[in-house]
Amino acid sequence: MKSVISLTLFASVLAISSIARAQDCRWTNRDLRGTYAMSGSGWIDLSKLAANLPPGSVPMSWVGTHTWDGKGGGSGWVVANAGGIPMSIQLVGLTYSVQADCSVLATYSMKIQELGVTIGPASRIYVVSPTLLSLELFGIQAGAGPGMPVDLTTSRRVSMQ
């Protein structure tokens, strides 16, 4: 069942991405500046991050914010629950750029306070969806090394600051 749901969600992101590719890209890094509220869910193998944790992927969910500066840099934080373990995460070294196909590539590392580790860099691909009052970003992180989560996220711009 998890495979069917994951495959369906992944196919949805690809479909949205193909729609974005069919358009002329009008977005720039400056257009995407601001603070975004975000949430997501996925899977992570915590044993790759701390030897005392059992092996295997566990479900995780999270909320947080990220702020993009309009020049390709930014910062952010996340509060997550992974397999019942609460975590506070700082996004460090965050960069983003609008790609030729109109997708947005963000890279960052994650400093996990409770485990005393920093993992990454990670990459997330976003597609931009303008709404009447804001922008929404739909993204996927498909893991990029030991312990990296696989997840889907939605972000909504809440401030132009």
Residue-wise pLDDT for 57-116, tens only, equals 899 999 999 999 999 999 999 999 999 999 999 999 999 999 999 999 999 999 999 989
CATH label of the domain that carries residue 16: 2.40.160
pTM: 0.80
The three-class DSSP label of residue 70 is coil
The three-class DSSP label of residue 3 is helix
What is the DSSP annotation of 103-129? -EEEEEEEEETTTTEEEEEEEEEEEEE
Amino acid (one-letter) located at 33: R
Host domain of residue 150: 2-159
- What does residue 22 show for φ and ψ, rounded to 5 degrees? -75, -15
The β-bridge partners of 142 are: 150
For 87-96, write each residue's pLDDT tens digit. 999 999 999 9
Domain count, the chain: 1
Question: Helix count (H) and strand count (E) of the chain?
Answer: 1, 8
